Amino acid sequence: MRTHNKLSRRKFIVDSAKAASIVTASGLLNSCSFISGKNAAKYKIPRRVLGNTGLETSILAFGGGSQFLQNNDGEWEKLLEAAVEGGINFFETAPTYIASEFWETGDGKSLDSSEQRYGQVLPPYRDQIVLSTKLPSRDPEEAKKSLESSLNNFKTDHLDILMIHGITINDNISDIEKGLYKTMLSLKESGVVKNIGFSCMADPEHSRDMLEKLDFDVALVTMNATLYGGFAETILPAARKKNTGVIAMKVMRDIVGEAATPKELLEYAWTQEGVASATVGHWGIESLQENIRIAQEYVETPVAQLDREELENRLASYAGPHALCWARPGYRDGAVVVA
């Protein structure tokens, strides 16, 4: 996989971002601009429209992966309640996010499944939130069974977003189109699923091809200042062309230590043209509260407040499998091998 760390290309990306940052929100940046007017005043966290879905999503999303699963009983419930209270309305997860996939059972985590945890807390807020999960299997019939199980776990009769989990170069687009994609379109037509998409953390070119050849509503992709993989450069132009909603992941909070602040990492994702939200998994209430505060205080302005080039150069040494566990061959996102 190409790492896209050549300085000339880096300079081009940064210069383009700086040029875009001086355009007002009514111009080039309108594909990811904030919800404005009377609605905006009632939101604790700024929201953006997620591509062509029509969904208004908080710029900070709540991820249900391994970080969230580390929270024991009595803790994860408080995190979900605090997320809703703090203004997060976007909750994404996957059926393969299972505590026992990471840790021994019986260690304070009576609910093994992230989806089941969501189903314990979020149902009273169902009409206020955007709920998203993924399909680990590429087999249409197994996908249907997975969706049925997810709906039962969430205690809901529909999903706002359903994504293929962990697209890699091994996923043949033609096979996806004839099989799983066709099934997902049928589920969307039935109303049980409102929008469809895919997640990818390792193959930006393949993700771009998926967007160009098929009509997905949402893409959940790696987006951080190491530029590892080159997702921003590769996938965002294709997403903007189709008005596909983009959610950033792997923003690297707690991975780079003191090399960058959580505020810098989050704002790097939020200032990418076309990114609607950034999803973060939280272990402990303190990091969640800090991220909520950063999101609540974030103000979209015509002039960029973040020196993107300086941050990219500062984090360049992290761009690779030596520092990024999810970039290593055989990495498992829950029970799904994604790299």
Domain presence at residue 33: yes
Is 287 a domain residue?
Answer: no
| Nearest-angstrom CA–CA distance, 320 and 54 | 36
| Torsion angle defined by CA atoms of residues 28, 30, 33 and 38, in that order, rounded to the nearest 10 degrees | 140
What was the pLDDT predicted at 39?
61
- What tens digit of pLDDT does each residue of 159-201 get? 999 999 999 999 999 999 999 999 999 999 999 999 999 999 8
Residue 263: which CATH number?
Answer: 3.20.20
The torsion angle over the Cα atoms of residues 92, 97, 98 and 99, rounded to 10 degrees, is -80
Q: Is the pLDDT of residue 42 over 80?
A: no
Angle between helices 180-190 and 140-154 (to 10 degrees): 40
Q: What is the pLDDT of residues 225-251, one digit of tens each?
A: 999 889 999 999 999 999 999 999 999
DSSP 305: -
Asked if residue 38 is part of any domain, the answer here is: yes
User: N- to C-terminal Cα distance for the chain?
Assistant: 10
- pLDDT at 337 exceeding the cut of 60: yes
> Has residue 116 been placed in a domain?
no
- Whether residue 286 lies inside any domain: the answer is no
Structural domain span for residue 227: 7-55+95-107+130-277+299-337
pLDDT of res. 15: 39
The 8-class DSSP code of residue 278 comes to: E
Number of domains into which the chain is organized = 1
pLDDT score of 309 more than 80: yes
Whether residue 332 lies inside any domain: the answer is: yes
DSSP 55-116: -EEESEEEE-SHHHHTSPTTTHHHHHHHHHHHT--EEE--TT-BGGGTS-SSSS----BHHH
Average pLDDT over residues 268-277: 95
Between 9 and 37, residue with greater pLDDT:
37
pLDDT of residue 6: 34
Residue 262: pLDDT above 70?
yes
- For 94-110, the pLDDT digits (tens) are 999 998 777 665 566 77
How many Å apart are CA 126 and CA 284, to the nearest integer? 24
Q: Is 61 among the domain residues?
A: no
Instruction: Tell me the whole-structure pTM to 2 decimals.
Output: 0.87
pLDDT at 271 over 90: yes
Name the average pLDDT for the chain.
Answer: 85
Q: How far apart are CA 219 and CA 290, in angstroms?
A: 26
Q: Is 284 helix (H, G, I), strand (E, B) or coil?
A: coil
